[in-house]
Chain A
Amino acid sequence: ELKVEQNPLFLSMQEGKNYTIYCNYSTTSDRLYWYRQDPGKSLESLFVLLSNGAVKQEGRLMASLDTKARLSTLHITAAVHDLSATYFCALSQVGGSQGNLIFGKGTKLSVKP
């Protein structure tokens, strides 16, 4: 059974600082997703990582995937207040139905001035 663990679950950062969110998973998966969720809102797709060594960047966020270590990271560079949100990683199970994503518990990020 695929399990997804994120850490930290809560992260308070100062503006301008760098930090990394970690996503570990227990079994082989063929794709990994990162989502952002603002309070009371839906999920916004940030990145989809498909292969070992994949790295994607958008603005101050960079995601990477190491399938051998079963680890993905979401790196935040020079944080700004607008990045405050909850970030989820999610994976699809190999052999499972396409829409069956297994989510981590999320990392609640708060960026303070």
Chain B
Amino acid sequence: ETGVTQSPTHLIKTRGQQVTLRCSSQSGHNTVSWYQQALGQGPQFIFQYYREEENGRGNFPPRFSGLQFPNYSSELNVNALELDDSALYLCASSSPGQGAHGYTFGSGTRLTVV
């Protein structure tokens, strides 16, 4: 059983640029959620994808967008980066009903916007 892997691990971008973060779900998991964790804060839900469709969204602007692919891997895209977008971005995968046993989180991508 493979875990949830995210890439890259660290990234530095300039304000106004665009970024794509990637997540490979744990084998057998068809649901992926993305979270933003600012320094010293708890993670905040960005959105969730289930079978390639967005299935829930948190309080984030449209410049945060995502994709899920047929193999259930996922991307988080952020356009027009702002300094406040600097954070740890976590993805979590699950399968139907697995929420009862907790979600599996990846190790995260640390994004710094300068």
Chain A residues in the interface with B (C-beta under 8 A): 4, 31, 33, 35, 40-45, 48, 50, 88, 90, 92, 96-106
| The one of B33, B105, B106 that contacts A100, using a Cβ cutoff of 8 Å | B33
B103 CB contact (under 8 Å) in A41, A96, A101: A101
Q: Which residue of A42, A99, A102 contacts B56 across the interface (Cβ within 8 Å)?
A: A99
A44 cross-chain contacts in B, Cβ below 8 A: 105
Given contacts A100-B56, A100-B58, contact A43 B43 (CB under 8 A): yes
Whether A96 and B56, one on each chain, are in contact in the complex, defined by CB atoms closer than 8 angstroms, is yes
How many chain B residues sit at the interface, stated as a range, is 20 to 34
Q: Are B48 and A106 neighbours in the complex by a CB distance under 8 Å?
A: no
Interface residues of B (CB under 8 A from A): 31-33, 35, 40-45, 48, 50, 55-56, 58, 90, 92, 94, 99-108, 110
Residues of the A chain whose Cβ atoms lie less than 8 Å from the Cβ of B56: 96-100
6 smallest CB-CB distances across A and B, nearest first, come from A97-B56, A99-B33, A103-B42, A45-B102, A99-B48, A43-B105
Taking the closest CB of chain A, its distance from the CB of B32, in whole angstroms, is 8
Q: How far is the CB of B73 from chain A (nearest CB, A)?
A: 16
